[in-house]
Structure 1
Amino acid sequence: MKIRKASIKDIETIQSLEYELYQETKEIHDPTFNPDWAKSEETAEKYRTWMEEGVYIAFICEEDKEPIGILVGGIKEAKHRVNITWGKIDHLFVKKEFRNKGIGTQLLKNFEKWAKQNGANREIVYTHTVNHSARKLYQREGFEESEIIFEKKL
């Protein structure tokens, strides 16, 4: 297993893994998720811009050169809070057959190191309330619940 920093050349790989994440999210947690958005040109352009600006990073985990996991995140100043700069995790995904082997933990540790080096003093991540395995991972890694989002159909 090897974890490496992604480059602009990896955007298609990032999108492919995010497609799997969104597909799983749609099937298990939220039927409103649109997996096709992950593979859109808009998404590719977003990643290009973020990587060029240097405020976002992606880590790819590979097994025998095959991508099996990803973490995408960036630095975000919490302007509504005093002296808080977040390392914000946007996506963390490990293929099903490679879960519970410490890959998610290693991706989180790589991101945490990068976030600290880039000025973050807190980390945040959002997940679905019914995604118990993700919640368990984050809590095990020292994250605490701090906000709850309410959603209402209209």
Structure 2
Amino acid sequence: MVIERPTTDDVDALVDLWLTLATEQQGHGSHILAEDNKKSVREQLARNVVTGRAIVARENSEIIGFVTYQLETGTYDQTVTRGVISNLFVRPSARNGGIGTALLEAAERGLEDAGADVVALEALDDNDAGRRFYRRHGYDTHRVELEKPLSTENDNHSKEDG
């Protein structure tokens, strides 16, 4: 296995892996539509490749996993500089062999080199294996996002009532 930066020739393979990731995450409650976001994901992944914010794992020249990351930017001044891992994915057939760990550690080094003090990432609540993986690597809950479906079927007030 080789951990390295991808080239623009790898963007199509990264998009295919992202589509697999997005489809898999739907099984854990994600609302992201894989195919419907293919064009914007291609643009985003291409930017990540060009700006050096992507790392891939290759085996026999085939990409079997990837990670994307960046420094957090926003409108609020903070007490720390946060790095954010946006995507981390390893093909299911290649899991449990240290590839995810190697990708995570490479992204953490890249973020540290860029000036990050802490690293943040998200895992879906229903993705027990993903959350266990991140806990094993020192990640702990920082913020909890809550979600509630809104249904008009059980509402006492319709939207017409105002």
Shorter-chain TM-score bucket reads: 0.7 to 0.9
Which residue of the partner structure matches residue 30 of structure 1? Answer: 29
Structure 1 residue ranges, 4+ long, deviating more than 4 angstroms after superposition: none
What's the offset of the Cα at 1:31? 6.0
What's the offset of the Cα at 1:36? 0.7
The count of residues paired between Structure 1 and Structure 2 equals 150
What's the offset of the Cα at 1:2? 0.8
Q: TM-score, normalised by structure 1?
A: 0.88
- Computed over aligned residues only, the root mean square deviation of the Cα atoms, in angstroms, reads 1.8
Say if 2:85 and 2:119, in contact at 8 Å, map to a contact too.
yes
Larger radius of gyration: 2
Say yes or no: does 1:121 pair with 2:117: yes
Q: 2:18 & 2:87 partners in 1: Cα distance?
A: 8
Tell me the SS of whatever aligns to 2:134. Answer: helix
Shift in alpha-carbon separation, 1:87–1:37, aligned structure 2, 3 A: farther
% identical aligned pairs: 26
> For structure 2, which runs of at least 5 residues remain unmatched after alignment?
151-162
What residue identity is the alignment partner of 1:86?
R
Q: 2:85 & 2:30 partners in 1: Cα distance?
A: 22
Counterpart of 1:46 (choices 39, 44, 62) is: 44
More strand by share: 1
Counterpart of 1:132 (choices 128, 132, 145) is: 128
What's the offset of the Cα at 1:7? 2.6
Say if 1:86 and 1:123, in contact at 8 Å, map to a contact too.
yes
Summarize deviations over 1:49-90 as a string: whole Å, max 9, x none. 4444x3x61111111111111111111146535332111011
